[in-house]
Amino acid sequence: MNDTQEGTIVNKIKQSKKLVTIDLQQYFDNTPIQELDLKDFLFEELILKEKEFRESLESHNWEQYKDSYLAVYCSSDAIISKWAYMLVAQYAVPFCEDIFQGNKPDVVDELYRRQLNEIDWEKYKDKFVILKGCSDKKKPVPESAYLYATKKLVPHVQKLMYGEACSNVPVYRK
């Protein structure tokens, strides 16, 4: 049989039942991520004084984090005790969807990891898999998601590639 049917070109790559494209962008969580920099609660943005820290937390507007993820970090070189993060969590938990230590990119990494942990990777057994390379800037796929997905896919797939079906980079072959 030739590669055309009734004058149209047949894409054999797309018809292959062994070839699967995974768009990691589909696992992007659209929940807003807000950041809380602890330096703003410190004396001279550097020293953690318990009494003042507690007072600042108590007067902070926690409702602003409603229906959002909260990324908690400190951008100064201050030494932050573990109990300080615990106090922040105490105030934030009733309002935010979830709370994370780190900045926005750290939260995005963790959210992807959570989503990718829910996948039954066994369904890709002996398949040729392409991890789609292009993504919408509004739904960024971090490098860590590609790393993690590769780790999960390698034990199952026959071949793993990056990019698009028409132009891909081979990554792994069993």
111 lies in the same domain as 88: no
* Residue 141, pLDDT score: 93
Cβ atoms of 161 and 171 closer than 8 Å: yes
* pTM above threshold 0.95: no
| Residue after which a domain boundary falls, among 60, 77, 96 | 96
Contact 129, 157 (CB under 8 A): yes
pLDDT 10s digits, 68-83: 999 999 999 999 999 9
Beta bridge partners of 19: 128
Question: Is the residue at 102 inside a domain?
Answer: no
Same domain? For 111 and 167 the reply is yes
Q: State yes or no: pLDDT of 133 exceeds 90.
A: no
The predicted pLDDT at position 10 comes to 44
Where does a domain end: 96, 120, 138?
Answer: 96
- Residues found in the chain: 174
Of 97, 100, 164, 174, the closest CA to residue 133 belongs to 164
Examine the pLDDT at 29 and tell me if it is beyond 70: yes
Looking at the structure, tell me whether residues 166 and 151 fall in a common domain: yes
Over residues 8-31, mean pLDDT = 76
What would the pLDDT profile of 37-46 be if each residue is shown by its tens digit?
Answer: 999 999 998 9
What is the structure's pLDDT at 15?
Answer: 45
Roughly how many angstroms between the first and final C-alpha of the chain, as a whole number? 30
Residues 23 and 37 in one domain: no
- 85 and 138, same domain (yes or no): no
pLDDT at 18 (0 to 100): 83
Domain that holds residue 75: 33-96
Q: Indicate whether 48 and 9 sit together in one domain.
A: no
